[in-house]
Amino acid sequence: MLEGRIALVTGAGRGIGRETALKLAGYGADVAVNYSGSKEKAEETVRMIRALGRRAVAVQADVSKQEDCERMFREVKETLGTVDILVNNAGITRDNLAVRMSSEEFEQVIDTNLKGAFFCMKLAGRDMMKKRYGRIINLSSISGVRGNAGQMNYCAAKAGIIGMTKCLAKELASRGVTVNAVAPGYIDTDMTAALPEKVKEAVLAQIPLGRMGQPKDIAEAVAFLASDRAAYITGQTIQVDGGMGI
């Protein structure tokens, strides 16, 4: 399904990013595995992809830094080739009530979750326009769709992702590039493991399907959007949340 395609997944050493990298490789893509600090985990993801018979490379870059993103795209081009599929997955939380939130907490989340995706879309978009082919999938969140108390920084970034997705979908549609977002609900990763038990129980009670999502639930939606089966879908946000957003 994705044979011959080259994918770059940001934050692919662990969590949703790793599962997505493996899913894309399972469908035939070669994958660049970006990480910021988790070198060993990224190298493990690379080994898992190679075991599937696909090419893979680990690339360190802090996506909040433009020069890191530029170097990352150069390295991917030299090792695997130009990127056909970009998955902007890297993300962080710095939760706090709005009245207590520091500008550092606000900026860190915007810089990684929103600006990081902007830098990568800019860099991937150039090559995709030339090739007249590309798939960009951005990780938003139910928090960006519905809002969530204690996450003003994260809600702003994830709502911003949806806006950027619609903008770039319009800019690149005539060049054969689709741009979509996936908005996960409550997924079982390190990010949610850090939540207090009481919060976890309250969130679970809001999920009609009655369980947390697994990273593979998100990876499957990303892989679909990356495939030719989704060729006529652009500018959309698919909520993968067990019905939480209904």
For the bound state, the minimum distance from the C-beta of residue 12 to ligand NAP, rounded and expressed in Å, comes to: 6
Q: Active site includes 133?
A: no
User: Which positions touch ligand NAP (CB under 6 A)?
Assistant: 10-11, 13-17, 34-38, 62-64, 89-92, 112, 139, 141, 184, 186-187, 189-192
- Nearer CB in complex with ligand NAP: 4/210: 210
For the bound state, the minimum distance from the C-beta of residue 24 to ligand NAP, rounded and expressed in Å, comes to: 15
For the bound state, the minimum distance from the C-beta of residue 146 to ligand NAP, rounded and expressed in Å, comes to: 11
Q: Which of 27, 154, 186, 232 is catalytic?
A: 154
- Nearer CB in complex with ligand NAP: 27/154: 154
CB 130 within 8 A of CB 178: no
- Nearer CB in complex with ligand NAP: 25/90: 90
- Residue numbers annotated as active site: 154
